[in-house]
A and B are shown apart, each in its own frame.
Chain A
Amino acid sequence: MKQFRTNDLILKTTTTIIAFVILAFSIYLFLAGHNAPGGGFIGGLMTAAAIVLLYIAFGIGTMARVFKWSSTTLIAVGLLTAIATGIGSFLFKQPFLSHTFGHFHLPFVGDFELATAMLFDLGVYFTVIGVTMTIILTIADDQNEEKSELG
């Protein structure tokens, strides 16, 4: 299959721009989730979409060199983050998964709200990325293998 690979120049160029726009939007969705539509789940899906686009444009081989993290590790990291947030509330003698929030004044930004729920959402975010990437890459990889076997 490799010898017939076409040079998708336009796709690659637009991808480099669009992927980062999508990534930025997904991070916005994730961060804004507590007050506006969005959150860990949608943000994670969107990030995964950006990465998938990169995979389509550059192929698995290139991405494997750039992107060192295995997607299953992301699942584990995400789940651990979510559980650790829940367990963290034990430190303050609170029930599992109790959340708190506070307002802080930061330079440049002004009034900024930080909530422990964001940490939990970060876990969701990582897990969703990991799961989506795992599913798509596993199936896609398998099809490539099969094609090369058949070919």
Chain B
Amino acid sequence: MLHLVIFIPFLFALIIPLLRTKLSNIHLGWFVLAVPVLLFTYFISFLEKMIQGEKIHSTLNWIPSLDINFVFVIDGLSMLFSLLITGIGSLVVLYSIFYLNKKENLGHFYFYLLLFMGAMLGVVLSDNIFVLYMFWEFTSISSFLLIGFWFHREKSRYGALKSMLITVFGGLALFASFLLMSITTGSTSIREIILNSEAIINSNYFVLILILFLLGAFTKSAQFPFHTWLPDAMEAPTPVSAYLHSATMVKAGIYLVARFFLVFQGEQLFAIIVSVFGIVTLAWGSFMAVRQTDLKGILAFSTISQLGMIMAMLGFGAGYENKVAIVAAVFHIFNHATFKGSLFMVAGIIDHETGTRDIRRLGGLYTFMPITATLAFFGTFSMAGFPLPVFNGFLSKEMFFKAAILDNVLDISILIPILAVIGSIFTFVYSMILFFKPFTGKENMLDRQPHEAPIGLLVSPAILVSFIIIIGLLPNIISEPILAPAVSAINGEIPLINIHFWHGFTNIPIWMSFTVVVIGTLLFRYRDKWTPFYNVFPGRWSAANVYDYLVNNTFTFAKSVTSFFMTGSIRNYLSIILGFLIGTLAVTIYITDGFAVSYDDLAPITWPVAFTGITMVFASIATIFMKNRIAAILVLGVVGYGLSILFVFFKAPDLALTQLIIETVTVALFLLCFYHLPDLTKTKESLSRKTLNIVISLSAGFIVTIIAIASHSFKKFDAISEYFIETSVSLGGGHNIVNVILVDMRGLDTLFEITVLGIAALAIISMIKLRKKEEVDS
């Protein structure tokens, strides 16, 4: 049953084209809406079992021989994410029904969205690491498709490519990490890996496994410095931004860290890396968010910073005696999904009703859009962590402060709370900008008269905002069914969660919150005074610029490398080929100590043989200095005829005859062809080039000579020729052993050699007879 549930989105995606053509007058989203709603109710039905601490297993064989199977397990953590995916998925589909025009390519949109939904469910429910990886890449691909949904826009394509490159880079690192994990533990199941975590921690690859694993998690969850793809992913339609880039996909990395928390728990390195990167991302993301002028830009950087905050809490939790951190992380995962989802939808509504998302052009919208403004009010103040009991963001932020104070992973731990406060101050500032800038102040120049959004657009953010308020007021209603099972799934302990709004003045976190609010308000009030600081701040080293630099320079570098050696000059290629030949042979001979000279079994040198040999040497040297082609061919012929004389001396009459005739034919053919070529011209070559040629040719000749001598000296077996000599008459019925070998014993070689000759003849015909007339003329 669980399998069917995970594959429902994929199966439904397949019938979308059918629905689109058959029922074109109803918005496609209404049909799609059924899928997440159904799944959501299905997952809700497990809540009871989760409270009792049960797990639901389900297995379907895929590649049993490799131990790769669809093993799905629902526990507290999977449950939390499944509910977020399907719940926010339902709201996003509902929102998109009103957001997207029917003229858009809805079939594509919902196809990609369902693909993403199924993939995301697969990621959070898979127990098998390779299946998890498969779904992980599915989310990257579907996210790529969704970001590039308006593919006719340059910026969409740029953003899609960027997110693809970065997340797939991380995905491959993750895959490598998974491979190492399964090698060291001998298992592909996450639960078994957790049981065998000792094997990973004690293995030599531990640091490599950890770093590759975190690369995967950090790229997906947009941690510093890989956060740069997320702001560019804002070119996607707003429902996609709300769904993928705030609530679900960007939390896949968080999920991964939480899922493998038990493996790395207690490892100092893990705790330090995760908390430092998290806290830096928090501070940097919130700092950069203030600079943005685009509503979705602010939200993108805010998402980065909030993800950093969650990641940091997971890092704190890995230190000892910091139990509150994990609870805070889980709580904030939930809260962030509610307020960020609603804020993205609000941004979409503003865009939809006014035609712009630029905060410099927006203003005074409160009078026109009071409902939207109210929704935005709750979203932004919850995000800022404003200390009022109706904002759930405040509760989790305060738990975050508490966790930051308790943190003991670093020696300089005092920096952690300070950075946390600084990050939160900027979070406060951009949240205020996000609310006050578009909704208050004077009306700015807009192309059209803004008015309240249709009710359908408001339903989804309203539901999310109601969650903000309910959990803000009564945080403990989710603590038992959702938070506690999730926390116990992460660190294996069942916590007692009791979230209070008010801790009294003796608590440090409350003072940190007050500091944030006071300084944040001041900074917001006088932002005109200090925001010019951003202009001074050099943008050169921003992650986006580094990315562009890397991508562009990879192209130029590859291009220059290619054009360096792919010159098109055959002479160069030949130099390279010969160079490698000489190099590999020389190294091989040197390493294996392969050179030896043996004087055994050498034929005596007679005067005629020596004379012929010397003549051939002189002829071949003379060929180099010939200034005329014809003369060069004729002198080369001397070598050929010399060879046939040598065959005579060494008693190979068949070879001598063949060599004689073939040499004649080739010289004749050369003469026929070279008749057309221009005279040899002395090419002026630089001295170094000439020297290089001489060196290459001399060393090639030298190395081949060395090998010939060495191969003579290493005769380890008797030759097979004795057999041929004995059986030539009895088996082949001929006295000419060469001919018997050619036609009888190894007739197959001859068969293909004459085939080669036939093909060569046909090739010559086609080259000469069938070439185009124009080529002849030119």
Chain A interface residues (CB < 8 Å from chain B): 29, 33-42, 45-46, 49, 71-72, 75-76, 78-79, 82-83, 86, 96-97, 99-102, 113, 115, 117, 120-121, 123-124, 127-128, 130-132, 134-136, 138-140, 142-143, 146
The reply to whether A131 and B733 form a contact with Cβ atoms under 8 Å apart is no
Known: A41-B658, A117-B734, A128-B757. A33 touches B669 (CB 8 A): no
A131-B739 contact in complex given A35-B734, A45-B665, A97-B748, C-beta closer than 8 Å: no
- Tell me if A42 and B743 are in contact (CB < 8 A): no
* In the complex, B463 has a CB within 8 A of chain A: no
- 3 closest Cβ pairs, A-B complex: A101-B733, A34-B734, A37-B653
Q: Are B739 and A39 in contact (CB under 8 A)?
A: yes
Tell me if A86 and B732 are in contact (CB < 8 A).
Answer: no
Nearest-neighbour CB distance to chain B for A49, whole angstroms, equals: 7
Instruction: Assess the A131–B758 pair: CB atoms within 8 A.
Output: yes
A42 to B, closest residue via Cβ: B657
In the complex, which residues of chain B have a beta carbon less than 8 angstroms from the beta carbon of A135? Answer: 669, 760-761, 764
**With contacts A42-B654, A49-B661 known, is A130 near B761, CB below 8 A?**
yes
- Tell whether, in the assembled complex, residue A117 and residue B665 are in contact, meaning their CB atoms are under 8 Å apart: no
Residue in B734, B765, B776 whose beta carbon sits within 8 Å of that of A134 in the complex: B765
- Could you tell me if B743 and A35 are in contact, using CB atoms closer than 8 angstroms? no
Residues of A within 8 A of B477 (CB): none
Decide yes or no whether B412 CB sits under 8 A from chain A.
Answer: no
**Contact pattern, B 739-778, Cβ under 8 Å of A = 1, otherwise 0:** 1101110011011001101101110110011000000100
Answer whether residue B705 sits at the interface, using C-beta atoms and an 8 A cutoff.
no
Alpha-carbon distance A82/B750, docked complex (angstroms): 9
On whether the beta carbons of A127 and B765 are closer than 8 Å, the reply is no
A sample of 8 inter-chain contacts (CB < 8 A) reads: A29-B657, A36-B735, A36-B736, A72-B765, A117-B747, A120-B750, A127-B757, A128-B757
Q: How far is the CB of B748 from chain A (nearest CB, A)?
A: 6
**Contact partner, B733, options A34, A96, A130, Cβ 8 Å:** A34
- How far, in whole Å, are A76 and B754 apart by their CA atoms in the complex? 11
Interchain nearest-CB distance for A23 vs B (Å): 15
In the complex, chain B residues whose CB is within 8 Å of the CB of A143: 672, 675
Tell me the chain B residues, 18-32 only, with Cβ under 8 Å from chain A. Answer: none
Q: Is B445 an interface residue (CB 8 A)?
A: no
Total chain B interface residues with beta-carbon distance under 8 A: 39
B673 at the interface (CB under 8 A from A): yes
Contacts of B662 in A (CB 8 A): 45
Please, which residues of chain B bring their CB within 8 A of the CB of A29? 657
- Are A131 and B761 closer than 8 Å at their CB atoms? yes
Partner of A117, one of B654, B744, B757, B762: B744
- With most chain A CB atoms within 10 A of its CB, the pick from B733, B736, B740, B765 is B733
Across-interface contacts of A120 in B (CB, < 8 A): 743-744, 747, 750-751
Assembled-state Cα–Cα distance A42/B654 (Å):
8
Q: What is the distance, in angstroms, from A147's C-beta to the closest C-beta of chain B?
A: 11
A130→B758 CA distance, assembly (Å): 8
* A96 and B665 alpha carbons, distance in the complex (Å): 33
Q: Is the CB of B754 within 8 A of A82?
A: yes
Kindly identify which residue among B665, B739, B747, B764 contacts A138, using a CB–CB cutoff of 8 Å. B764
> A35, B735: Cβ atoms under 8 Å?
yes
B734 proximity list for chain A (CB < 8 A): 34-35, 101, 115, 117
